[in-house]
């Protein structure tokens, strides 16, 4: 990879919602994330799915999207809270090679400035092979706000994960 970011990164958005997967509720967070990534520049959405919040299914899709589809950024939305059906962080932890705690820490800190309920978010971020995976909350507003916090650094992060030699301070 060159010394600066010139490529388009291949992305996926995975929505975790039991009701959404059954067609009982329309997902608005996934489309919101798609609009934000499209507006940000070097991101092309290649995969988009809504599935129930089942840990095994989540892990399987994340693995397929990274290993087979060669995605470089995956945003999940939903399943990050403390409800019994919130399985996204565990499913993500099961398949990543390295965690990046700073991403989830900065999102929680920014969210906590708006609502004390942010302390209940368990979302994580990590790397599997050449892909950055970030867990975002399921509500459209929270997903939008959390992505906005980290979006300015995402292209650089994905480029570095994929071998970019550019200095971090440039």
In the chain, where are the structural domains located? Answer: 9-136+148-161
DSSP character at residue 163: T
Residue 39 pLDDT more than 70? yes
What is residue 100's three-state secondary structure?
A: coil
- Range of weakest confidence among 1-5, 130-134, 165-169: 1-5
Give the bridge partners for 45, in sequence order: 11
The secondary element (H helix, E strand) that includes residue 14 is strand 9-16
Share of the chain above pLDDT 70, in %: 95
Q: 105 or 7: which carries more pLDDT confidence? A: 105
Q: What is the pTM of this model?
A: 0.94
**Sheet with 73-77: strands ordered across:** 43-51, 9-16, 73-77, 131-136, 125-128, 98-99
Tokens 């489309």 locate to: 31
For residue 119, count CB atoms less than 10 angstroms from its CB and return exposed for 0-12, middle for 13-18, buried for 19 or more.
exposed
Q: What is the mean pLDDT of residues 26-49?
A: 95
Report d(CA 73, CA 114) in Å as an integer.
Answer: 27
Residue 4 pLDDT more than 60? no
Q: What is the mean pLDDT of residues 50-59?
A: 97
Q: Provide the pLDDT for residue 7.
A: 84
Residue 170 pLDDT more than 70? no
Give the bridge partners for 9, in sequence order: 43
- pLDDT category of residue 169 using cuts at 50, 70 and 90: low
Give the residue among 94, 26, 101, 27 at the shortest CA–CA distance from 54: 94
**Angle at 151 (CA atoms; ends 124, 40), nearest 5 degrees:** 140
**CATH code for the domain defined by 9-136+148-161:** 3.40.980.10
């Amino acid at each position: 990879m060159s010394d600066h970011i010139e490529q388009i990164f291949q992305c996926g958005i995975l929505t975790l919602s039991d009701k959404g997967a059954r067609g009982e509720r329309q997902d608005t967070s996934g489309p919101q994330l798609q609009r934000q990534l499209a507006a940000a520049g070097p991101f092309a959405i290649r995969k988009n799915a809504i599935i129930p919040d089942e840990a095994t299914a989540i892990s399987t899709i994340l693995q397929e999207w990274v290993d087979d589809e060669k995605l470089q950024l995956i945003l999940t939305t939903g399943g990050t809270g403390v409800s019994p059906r919130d399985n996204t962080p565990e499913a993500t932890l099961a398949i990543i090679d390295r965690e990046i705690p700073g991403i989830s820490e900065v999102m929680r800190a920014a969210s906590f400035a708006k609502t004390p309920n942010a302390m209940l978010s368990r979302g994580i971020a990590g790397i599997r092979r050449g892909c950055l995976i970030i867990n975002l909350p399921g509500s459209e507003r929270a997903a939008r706000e959390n992505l906005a916090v980290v979006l300015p650094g995402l292209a650089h992060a994905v480029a570095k994960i994929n071998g970019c030699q550019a200095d971090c301070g440039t």
